[in-house]
Chains A and B, each alone.
Chain A
Amino acid sequence: MPTLDDEHFKAYLKQFRPIVPEPLPAVGPRHRARRTFVLGAWAATAAILVLGALTLHVLTNRAPVTETVGNVGNPEHLQASQPLTMGSANALMARAPSFKAMVDDMAFCSQSVPLPKGKRSAIAVLGKEKIKL
């Protein structure tokens, strides 16, 4: 090594290149793995939400059917949608073997549905009349 002034000696030193470090170990794979994990988490969350919505939808639609099926054997329920009018009461009386049997039949009828305007309940009418048995 020749005797050099400061600048030349510095230039001589710079000819020696520092050793290149090992590549960063986890940059590529770790980031890819992390990105895959995030995407997977989002996909799983979306799938759970969709399944939940579908289940809720199915359960909501099944509820009225269950109720209907459960009430099939209930005569009160079947007749609740048919308000008892004078006409239907006369029809019942014509078909019934006796007045008592007709009243018994009517006892199972519900008046939960409001009567149309201008029509009166047969029970209300019959209740006011004096009928000879």
Chain B
Amino acid sequence: MHRTDGDTSEIELLYRQHGPALLLFAQALTGERGRAQDAIHQAFLKLIEKGSLSQVVDKKAYLFACVRNTALNEGKLQNRNAPLDPDAAWFSPADRDYAGEQNLRRALQALPDDQRQVMVLHVWGEMTFSQISDLLDLSSNTVASRYRYALAKLRDSMLAKENSCANS
């Protein structure tokens, strides 16, 4: 397929639009900032080499699928399950709420992998349950169920952490 400057510009625009959510999703999958960054770079460079995305109906879902496949393939190649990096920030905290960022990050890291993926995709990836079910090859009910569990655990975990900080 012939690649044009317009195609490259479109892909770069998509990178700017969805890059942060894709990076967060890749971090949720790989557990490491470096591997997550590599995964989205590889995915986008492949897209640029491949050419146009004009045939793709749901570009955002396609991008998440590309990043997921790249991250999982990379994980298989490296044959390792690195623990989530507890220190690297995942978010830019609003109002310099670094404690809140750390609280949220640790609560997310405490979630099971499948629930963490659904949470990230729905909240920060702004994907519908239907899109997530296509991406993860799950039923929409399963996705919705995982999201509810994850949301409840996250809220409890963050509240518990805040309360423990307040009491200490």
Contact = CB atoms under 8 A, between A and B. Distances in A.
B19 A16 contact: no
B159 interface: yes
A18 B124 contact: yes
A21 B104 CA distance: 19
A25 interface: yes
A72 B22 CA distance: 84
B23 A1 contact: no
The prevalent SS among residues of A at the interface is loop
Given A13-B104, A16-B94, A18-B24, A4 B155 contact: yes
The size class of the interface chain B forms with chain A is: 20 to 34
Interface in B70-93: 89-93
The size class of the interface chain A forms with chain B is: 20 to 34
Contact of A9 (B8, B91, B100, B155): B155
A101 to B, nearest CB: 82
Interface of A: 1, 3-4, 6, 9-10, 13-22, 24-27, 31
